[in-house]
A and B are shown apart, each in its own frame.
Chain A
């Protein structure tokens, strides 16, 4: 998983399966946030199971509560979007709207 802070936002690119094994990564991630906007790129993320969803929710809540930052999600597949919609992830983070006008990975 890559971290690329820029001058105006923090950028995290997620890779591979997101599950219980990702716990330490997501636990430590909110402390790395420095800006008011955080972008998460899921283009290279694979399967996300219920434990992965729990970690994302916890991480996003921490970022919003402690860093008061806005969270945007990009590179979502339709499967990611379905999961995020049904589990409330989109209540904490917004999918990026593509130039064509539709949300990325719309289920």
Chain B
């Protein structure tokens, strides 16, 4: 059964992605080669079983800006995943934001990324609609440390615990400690002061505010380090982050020349840029999970494009505060 389809621009494009996509079950490869209509018809033929459509960045968004909309018209239930080579510039994010394309994977050619099997794992996650988990990128058996927050005063001690867990010597460790500390800071600030919203959507707390957890509010910071990969996760019980807003924050902050002091979402933008994989999983009104991982021996510099995976589930209940909710 074909559950995944990938659209390439041409044969060269197909060859580029052969290795990174190897091992994905039920994969139908389509080389567009200038005939987009025929390619979409091939998709339509398997639309009933299709779960994920992978688009090469050589096809979309710049070459065929309307492609995402046309694919959705053929297979409305499929998740779209854009794949872009780490050796090419990052695709512009504003069209992805406009088209609500929430999955961008940067990979290949071989050797550029230390993580092998990345794309099959991402596709499997999307096919099965399984959310990202912190342990998925760590060696089996790596302990995960989880800290439920009692008040904002605990932030620095949690960051200290993370730094202590990264106790190796040398420049790589020092850089990992600094990145980890900043990521933890941003994740915790977002959960403490960005997530809590009133019934009208307004923020309940000012940035940097000192406070204790509200009744029934739950914020949990987790991390694991297997000697090479540091994975971080922040869970809040608000579920107020909107996927469209995340996309907009990333896109707007990425625009060159942005130096507005009041630019929204700078914290999320920093988290995205410092992580090697960035995951957001939202259950509206119930829970938001933000996390990802980075490597000790990362060779990725700032210019290297970064991907993201933003998953939003169906709204199951209206969030209101205060309310008698189970966590």
Residues of A within 8 A of B (CB): 19-21, 23, 47-51, 53-55, 57-58, 61, 77-79, 82-83, 85-89, 91-92, 107
User: Of residues 132 to 155 in B, which have CB atoms within 8 Å of A's CB atoms?
Assistant: none
Residues of A within 8 A of B267 (CB): 49-51
Residues of B within 8 A of A50 (CB): 186, 189, 266-267, 269-270
Contact B302 A107 (CB under 8 A): yes
B257: interface (CB < 8 Å):
yes
Contact A53 B175 (CB under 8 A): no
B316: interface (CB < 8 Å):
no
Interface hit among B19-27, B30-38, B176-184, B227-235:
B176-184
Contact A88 B270 (CB under 8 A): no
B203: interface (CB < 8 Å):
no
Which of A51, A77, A82 makes the CB contact (< 8 A) with B207?
A51
Which of B206, B269, B270, B301 makes the CB contact (< 8 A) with A107?
B301
A57 to B257, CA, bound (A): 13
Which residue of B has the minimal Cβ distance to A56? B261
Contact A20 B175 (CB under 8 A): no
User: Of residues 251 to 295 in B, which have CB atoms within 8 Å of A's CB atoms?
Assistant: 253, 257-263, 266-267, 269-270, 273
Contact B186 A49 (CB under 8 A): yes
A54-B262, A57-B261 known; A47+B175 contact, CB < 8 A: no
A20-B207, A83-B270 known; A54+B261 contact, CB < 8 A: yes
Contact A91 B259 (CB under 8 A): yes
Contact A79 B259 (CB under 8 A): no
Nearest CB on A from B274, distance (A): 8
A83 to B189, CA, bound (A): 17
A19-B208, A54-B262, A88-B258 known; A47+B181 contact, CB < 8 A: yes
Which of B182, B258, B261, B273 makes the CB contact (< 8 A) with A49?
B182
B10: interface (CB < 8 Å):
no
Contact A86 B175 (CB under 8 A): no
Q: Give the residue among B179, B206, B260, B266 with the most A Cβ atoms within 10 A.
A: B266
Contact A87 B181 (CB under 8 A): no
Nearest CB on A from B5, distance (A): 35
A100 to B189, CA, bound (A): 39
Residues of B within 8 A of A87 (CB): 253, 258-259, 266, 269-270
Which residue of B has the minimal Cβ distance to A20? B208
Nearest CB on B from A96, distance (A): 19
Contact B185 A47 (CB under 8 A): yes
A83 to B182, CA, bound (A): 10
User: Of residues 165 to 197 in B, which have CB atoms within 8 Å of A's CB atoms?
Assistant: 175, 178-179, 181-182, 185-186, 189
Residues of A within 8 A of B260 (CB): 57, 88
Residues of A within 8 A of B302 (CB): 82, 85-86, 107
Residues of A within 8 A of B266 (CB): 50, 53-54, 87
Residues of A within 8 A of B175 (CB): 78-79
Residues of B within 8 A of A51 (CB): 189, 207-208, 267
Residues of B within 8 A of A91 (CB): 257, 259
Nearest CB on B from A103, distance (A): 14
Residues of A within 8 A of B207 (CB): 20, 51
Residues of A within 8 A of B208 (CB): 19-21, 23, 51
